[in-house]
Amino acid sequence: MRYRDRISCQNRCERELNEAAQRLEFLRISTQRLRLDLRSQLERRLDEVRGRHNRGVARLEALRRAEADCWGPAAERAEEAVSALWEALGWVEDVLGLRPLAA
């Protein structure tokens, strides 16, 4: 997911992170309805996903603060963090049997 300019990359990452935060909240609520043994395992996994979200937010902030001539590596790290977040969210959704609606 390479972008030609910094602003489009920042906007894309920010949108992805906001959508992921909403999905995380939905998954947290969905997890509350499960049996205790499965719930505790998924809550630990959701904590890990929250950590990935926080990492994505930090990478986005690093991209915003990057100097104009070296934003490329910061953009790559932000994109990698967002991808890892979505991968982790997908795992939790698969366990819960949830599939996101196609846009």
Per the rule left: phi > 0, alpha: psi between -120 and 50, beta: everything else, 43 is: alpha
**pLDDT averaged per 10 residues in sequence order, the chain, 103 residues:** 76 96 92 85 92 97 91 94 95 78 51
**Residue 12: both structure tokens together:** 């894309």
What stretch of H or E contains 28?
A: helix 6-31
Distance CA 13, CA 58 (A): 11
pTM as predicted: 0.85
DSSP, collapsed to helix, strand or coil, labels residue 103 as: coil
Q: Provide the pLDDT for residue 83.
A: 96
Cβ neighbourhood burial of 44 (10 Å; 0-12, 13-18, 19+)? exposed
